[in-house]
Amino acid sequence: MDIFNVLFSPFFMTLFIVILGAGLLIKFIGKSSNPPSPKSFSEIESTTQTHVQDTNSLFCSNCGKPYHVSESKKFCDNCGVSLVTISNQTTDRIVQSQTQTNLKKGVLTITFDGCWTSFFATEIYINNVFRFREMTMSGFSVNVPLESSQIDIETHEKSTSHKTKFKIKDLDIYKNYTIVLQFNRLMHEYSPKYELIETN
pLDDT digits (tens, 9 = 90+) for 71-97: 555 667 777 766 555 555 565 565 565
Select from 134, 88, 83, 82 the least CA-distant residue to 113.
134
Mark whether 98 and 149 lie in a shared domain. Answer: no
Q: What is the largest CA-CA distance in the chain?
A: 147
Mark whether 125 and 194 lie in a shared domain. Answer: yes
Mark whether 112 and 190 lie in a shared domain. Answer: yes
DSSP β-bridge partners for residue 199: none
* 102, 135, 170 - which closes a domain: 102
Mark whether 111 and 192 lie in a shared domain. Answer: yes
* 102, 123, 148 - which closes a domain: 102
Q: Is the pLDDT of residue 200 over 50?
A: yes
Listed range (30-34, 130-134, 135-139) with the worst mean pLDDT: 30-34
Mark whether 136 and 166 lie in a shared domain. Answer: yes
pLDDT at 53: 41
Mark whether 85 and 126 lie in a shared domain. Answer: no
pLDDT at 14: 74
Q: Is the pLDDT of residue 192 over 80?
A: yes
Q: Is the pLDDT of residue 40 over 50?
A: yes
Domain that residue 62 falls in: 48-102
In-domain check, residue 130: yes
- Cα–Cα distance measured from residue 148 to residue 60, given in angstroms and rounded to the nearest whole number: 34
**CB-based contacts of 156, cutoff 8 Å, min separation 6:** 122, 123, 124, 125, 162, 163
Mark whether 186 and 114 lie in a shared domain. Answer: yes
In-domain check, residue 13: no
pLDDT at 36: 54
* 78, 102, 126 - which closes a domain: 102
Name the pLDDT band for 20 (thresholds 50, 70, 90). Answer: confident
Instruction: Return the higher-pLDDT residue of 10 and 163.
Output: 163
Mark whether 121 and 174 lie in a shared domain. Answer: yes
Domains identified in the chain, total number: 2
pLDDT at 97: 59
Q: Is the pLDDT of residue 103 over 60?
A: yes
Q: Is the pLDDT of residue 35 over 90?
A: no
pLDDT at 100: 56
In-domain check, residue 43: no
pLDDT at 19: 76
Q: What is the b/e burial string over 100-133, where b = at least 16 CB atoms within 10 angstroms of the residue's CB?
A: eeeeeebbbbbebeebeebeebbebbbeeeeebe
pLDDT at 167: 94
For the whole prediction, is pTM greater than 0.85?
no
Q: Is the pLDDT of residue 32 over 60?
A: no
Mark whether 145 and 66 lie in a shared domain. Answer: no
pLDDT at 38: 55
Name the pLDDT band for 112 (thresholds 50, 70, 90). Answer: very high
Mark whether 80 and 136 lie in a shared domain. Answer: no
